Amino acid sequence: MADSVRVLLTREQLAARVRALGAAITADYQGRRPILVCVLKGSAIFMSDLARAIDLPCSLEFLRVSSYLAESQTSGRVDILMDLDCDISGRDVIIIEDILDTGLTLDCLRTRLLARNPASLAICTLLEKPARRRVDVPVDYVGFQIDDVFVVGYGLDHAEQYRNLPYVGQL
């Protein structure tokens, strides 16, 4: 399975960057209790590691969205398939995303969550593809910028495969 994947980011690179992101979030949110909102399924592994790297009390919440018609092309429409279980009004919220590509999904999620009146709303993405951006979304924490290539591993998939790879690779 992994034979057709070229490693772009190693397990060690991912671990070091996640620790750095956790330290930055810890410093920025001192004295607060942020809610980390995982965008399922791709962000689950990243959020699990990131939550352990944040040295603050925090809550974990999950959203599941659908924005893809085909395996690798966005439809431009975002449907929430599973919503949050809690009220975020007056709370500090950090959306945890696996990859910022066109920006359409994150822009929609950001707008919908801001309508729920959080005290603050930040975005943390593991990967960012500036070449594919269609909507400018303010991102507070970025793991890595990558070229316009299709990536898998560390939660990212192709037809529900490759999520369990311990690295990010190009398919």
Catalytic residues: 101
What 3-state class would DSSP assign to 159?
A: coil
Contact 145, 128 (CB under 8 A): yes
DSSP letter at 161 equals B
Do 39 and 73 contact (CB within 8 A), yes or no?
no
For residues 33 and 87, the answer to whether their CB atoms sit within 8 Å is no
Edge-to-edge strands, sheet with 92-100: 74-82, 59-68, 35-40, 92-100, 120-128, 141-145
Q: Beta strands 74-82 and 35-40: pairing type?
A: unpaired
68: left (phi over 0), alpha (psi -120 to 50) or beta: beta
